[in-house]
Amino acid sequence: MPARAAALDNPAEKLDEEVLIRRIRDGELELFHQLIRPYESRVYSAAFAILRNQEDAEDAAQEAVLKAFKHIRQFRAEARFSTWLIQIAVNEARMRRRKQHAGVIEPIIDSPDEEGKYTPRDFADWREIPSETLERKEVREKLAEALASLGEKYREVFVLRDIEQLSIDETARSLGISSASVKTRLLRARLMLRDLLAPGLGGGWHSRLSFAKGNKPW
């Protein structure tokens, strides 16, 4: 605890990530606290987007961080630490989901035709997003709901690329699929979400009632 406090409080100790990792490997394990601090919420949201449940997401996020700590020596400097950490979180979350849905088997082989073609259903003009939009809890909930309604393979790709901001290649590596698959799934995920959200967020944007009355597309 004292070591952690000192590392965090002393401005001279603002270390860049690479140095931090080296020092952790050299035995200053307490610095790991500092290393992961910027990524905590990302680890959580990756797990949450996959597991769709707060409690499970927290468990998975904790487990992922503990695994990263345990295996920090295996981290290769050519990757970004954040990417590595997110990948561990995604694996942890996927593993848990598989355990939860042991009986439910999703097809492993995707049919590329189906992935590639998606016809937008809604053409509502939705150009502006008021900056305060995400301050509204019900909007965040609707976004989370829409995301949760996507099929797993679309959701995972979307989460890694658009929420966790991994690159297409990093997303592909994390999920063990090709970059081409990432792109087609990403396209479909984005268009599906747009279709789900456009009428609510575009048309009935300022009206709470449009949500409350059940007049919503999802």
DSSP letter assigned to residue 12: G
Distance CA(25)–CA(36), nearest Å, equals 14
Q: Dihedral sign, CA of 180, 156, 103, 92?
A: positive
CB of 194 to other proteins, least distance (A): 4
H or E stretch at 88: helix 81-100
Q: Does the footprint of other proteins cover residue 197 (CB under 8 A)?
A: yes
**Binding segment for other proteins among 74-82, 91-99, 113-121, 148-156 (CB under 8 A)?**
113-121
Token pair in block for residue 10: 């002393």
CB of 45 to other proteins, least distance (A): 4
H or E stretch at 125: none
Site for other proteins in 128-167 (CB under 8 A): 129, 133-135, 140, 143-144, 147, 158, 162-163, 165
Map residues 87-106 to x or -, x wherever contact with other proteins holds by CB under 8 A: --------------------
What Å distances lie between residue 74 and 39, 57, 90, CA to CA? Answer: 19, 24, 17
Q: Does the footprint of other proteins cover residue 8 (CB under 8 A)?
A: no
CB of 80 to other proteins, least distance (A): 17
Residue 88, Cβ neighbours under 10 Å: how many?
A: 22
Distance CA(69)–CA(31), nearest Å, equals 10
Q: Does the footprint of other proteins cover residue 120 (CB under 8 A)?
A: yes
Q: Does the footprint of other proteins cover residue 28 (CB under 8 A)?
A: no
φ, ψ (nearest 5 deg) of residue 211: -75, -45
Token pair in block for residue 197: 């959200």
Q: Does the footprint of other proteins cover residue 44 (CB under 8 A)?
A: yes
Q: Does the footprint of other proteins cover residue 112 (CB under 8 A)?
A: no
Q: Does the footprint of other proteins cover residue 52 (CB under 8 A)?
A: no
Q: What angle do CA 101, 43, 3 make, to 5 degrees?
A: 135
Distance CA(165)–CA(159), nearest Å, equals 8
Q: Does the footprint of other proteins cover residue 70 (CB under 8 A)?
A: yes
Q: Does the footprint of other proteins cover residue 32 (CB under 8 A)?
A: yes
Interface residues with other proteins (CB under 8 A) are 1, 29-30, 32-33, 36-37, 40-41, 44-45, 48-49, 54, 58, 61-62, 65-66, 69-70, 116-120, 122-127, 129, 133-135, 140, 143-144, 147, 158, 162-163, 165, 168, 183, 186-187, 190-191, 193-194, 197-198, 201-202
